[in-house]
Amino acid sequence: MKFSEIIRQFGDAASNHSLISNPDYDPEITGVAAIDEATTGILSYVEGPKFASFVGKTNASALIFPEDEKLQAIAQERGIVWLATPDPRLLFAKAIALFYQPYHPVPEIHPTAVIHSTAKVGSDVYIGPHAVIQQGVEIGDGAIIHPNVVIYPNVKIGDRTTLHANCTIHERTHIGADCVIHSGAVIGAEGFGFVPTRTGWFKMEQSGYTVLEDGVEVGCNSGIDRPSVGETRVGRNTVIDSLVQIGHGCKIGSGCAIAGQVGMAGGVQLGNRVILAGQTGIVNQVKIGDGAMTSAQSGIHNDVAPGEVVCGTPALPYKLYLKVCAVYGRLPDMYQSLKQLQRKSKNSND
């Protein structure tokens, strides 16, 4: 499509662009790519200064910029059309959707799917080969159940929710509308509940519920456990990466982002818009306030205040963590100085 058509698709978000001053140069755009891999006919973007140097050497035909007149001038000199926006990455994400749409099967129920007679299946639903849907399950309109999905009894699946191949939804699970559960994820399995006794571990039955509110996305091979009592709940529009473990009884707010290999023990509470970087570990019953963030491999042993950024293990506030890191790098020299002082002290005493 023409660059001008892309601008029209973006509406007011693309009000500042090169066609204003040069309307006759309107190249055909055939796809999108990263700026260092873009070729003729490709649209790419620059999010900030880190990739600004690529503007002078990219082969892209069109670029999405931040509001930066220097970058615009470089593109103009090289004959690259551009548009400027406060959030280039968001606009580029929308551009991808103009050229690519994920696979969306035509509604049908495959003859090899096993569906219990008491299950309720909405309209325009796709159920793929060898899916198993047990008694009392409710599936909303427009849902997509890919091959080999197993849904245990009495589960509720909301409208337009997609369950990808080989994921498993256990009993006492309610999944809202417009959710996406990726392959290998297990939702609502038994939480890790065992009581120590003199003769071994006594298993505590996990009789609670697991609730995913509307718009939740869960990555491949992640697990969200149901509790012994009460519920494990994930708030609306929260996104969860692959290989994440969410323990029994956790309460996660809305709009959170949880990166790969995060693990949280039972009873953890996250506020709204919390961001957990990769491999963050959280001990049981910790509370993390609204808008808080962790860096990669943070170990959270205590509550985190709203809006706070923490790093390290055990986790420390960001500014304190930087000071600790500065001292840590000087430890070998400090150790040598300490040894010298000890020798001098010993000689003085002798």
Helix H or strand E segment including 26: none
83-87, 127-131, 156-160, 254-258: the lowest-pLDDT one? 83-87
Residue range 110-127, pLDDT digits in tens = 999 999 999 999 999 999
Residue range 94-107, pLDDT digits in tens = 999 999 999 999 99
pLDDT of 350 reads 64
What letter would DSSP give residue 119? Answer: -
Q: Which two tokens stand for residue 76?
A: 């103009």
Residue range 194-213, pLDDT digits in tens = 999 999 999 999 999 999 99
In the set 17, 146, 248, 301, the catalytic residue is 248
Question: What percentage of residues in the chain have a pLDDT greater than 90?
Answer: 78
pLDDT of 49 reads 76
Residue range 171-199, pLDDT digits in tens = 999 999 999 999 999 999 999 999 999 99
Question: Any residues with CB less than 8 A from the CB of 299 and at least 6 apart, and which?
Answer: 280, 281, 312, 313, 314, 315
Question: What percentage of residues in the chain have a pLDDT greater than 70?
Answer: 100
pLDDT of 68 reads 85
Please give the model's pTM, rounded to 2 decimal places: 0.89
Residue range 249-308, pLDDT digits in tens = 999 999 999 999 999 999 999 999 999 999 999 999 999 999 999 999 999 999 999 999
Report the half-sphere exposure of 245 (CA within 13 A, side-chain side): 15
Report in angstroms the alpha-carbon separations of 4 from 46, 83, 101, 228, 322.
19, 10, 21, 57, 47
User: Cα-flanking dihedrals φ and ψ of residue 126, to 5°?
Assistant: -105, 130
pLDDT of 51 reads 79
Query: What is the β-pairing status of strands 173-175 and 209-212?
Result: parallel
Question: Any residues with CB less than 8 A from the CB of 177 and at least 6 apart, and which?
Answer: 140, 158, 159, 160, 161, 214, 215
Return the amino acid letter for 72: Q
Return the amino acid letter for 142: G
Q: Is 248 a catalytic residue?
A: yes
* Mean pLDDT value across residues 16-45: 92
